[in-house]
Amino acid sequence: MGKIPSILMIYTGGTIGMVKDYGTGALKAFDFEGLLKHIPELGQLTCNIKNTSLTDPIDSSNMNPVYWEELVSIIETHYHDHDGFVVLHGSDTMSYSASALSFMLENLNKPIIFTGSQLPIGDLRTDAKENLITALQIAAAQEHGNPIIREVCLYFEYKLYRGNRTTKINAEHFEAFNSPNYPSLAESGFNLKIHHANLLVRPKKSKALVVHKKMDQNVAILKLFPGMGAVLLDSILRTPQLKVLILETYGAGNAPTDEWFLNTLEQAIKSGIHIINVTQCAGGSVVMGHYETSKQLSQIQLIDGKDITTEAAVTKAMYLVGSGVSDALFKTVFETSLRGEMH
């Protein structure tokens, strides 16, 4: 029998780590040292589990690149002496964090599984136990002594997804996430079924992990709506230091053909701001030039976001600008899939 996998569980905050104080009814942070006592099932897993946490665990609505940097630093420190990582995270911004980490960790060769829950771990009907136990099991899954999953994933309610393909779709249901443009990587049912064909293709020779910690925050997201005025568009584009605007367009990447609209975008692009066309639809892809209403966007050099999620687009933009990708290369690099985030 091979070596027992060693998994590091990193608590960042969120509902999953809460217990209800039945005296006051309030939610309070869970003592992770006592985890095994509360979930004795963990003792049956064939892996060694260690745990650590962010210095100050947060509700994930407070997430920002400073915490991402702390998170990747923890992973970097423990990368060589662990076989996999489970990140316990609030569900609200989990898709953003999973996307961010997928870009920040280049040449990743081990599983990083994000999970959380809709109900606190101490709640009678909690979804936390199943999510946590299966996430740990997936992180520990190996073949020939190597981890099966070697990418940043999100596990929630019986499904494992590529993290940078996910989006939070429901604030109440246990099935809180979806991956509209990419199939699941694994499903938990009677057995744990891994869909090998959907996993990221790994390079033959594994390269050393490269950790990118600089995420540039000079990015913005603007969702189009009928009636949006010139003043709004203009003022967003005049944001000091703005480098990238993610423009959430209609359907297959369509936008108004008004002259003021196209001229404003064109001027901004000429002044060095990168504008990315992503669809505001829950699923499907931008197809630049398919309709007259997107042909002109293509002509003025809007970047084609294809089927990327807004969460992945904004974090990819932060990563590329942070890494110092030149203005001349930005469009080409953005339109290339780096971590399986677009087709």
Q: Active-site residues: which are they?
A: 15
The two most distant CA atoms of the chain are separated, in Å, by 69
> Is there a contact between 252 and 284 (Cβ–Cβ < 8 Å)?
yes
Residue of 84, 86, 91, 138 that binds ligand ASP (CB under 6 A): 91
126 is a site residue for ligand ASP (CB under 6 A): no
DSSP per residue, 117-179: -SS-TTSTT-SHHHHHHHHHHHHH-EETTEES--SEEEEETTEEEEGGG-EE--SSSS--EE-
Question: Nearer to ligand ASP by C-beta: 93 or 285?
Answer: 93
59 is a site residue for ligand ASP (CB under 6 A): yes
Residue of 57, 65, 84, 90 that binds ligand ASP (CB under 6 A): 90
* Shortest Å, Cβ 282 to ligand ASP: 20
Nearest to 320 by CA among 243, 249, 267, 265: 243
Count of residues in contact with ligand ASP, rule CB under 6 A: 10
Q: Which stretch binds ligand ASP (CB under 6 A): 7-15, 200-208, 252-260, 316-324?
A: 7-15
Interatomic CA distance for residues 31 and 50, integer angstroms: 14
Residue whose CB is nearest to ligand ASP in the complex, by number: 90
> Is there a contact between 141 and 149 (Cβ–Cβ < 8 Å)?
yes
Residue of 5, 57, 71, 92 that binds ligand ASP (CB under 6 A): 92
332 is a site residue for ligand ASP (CB under 6 A): no
The letter for the amino acid at 283 is G
60 is a site residue for ligand ASP (CB under 6 A): yes
Binding region for ligand ASP (CB under 6 A):
13-15, 59-61, 90-92, 116
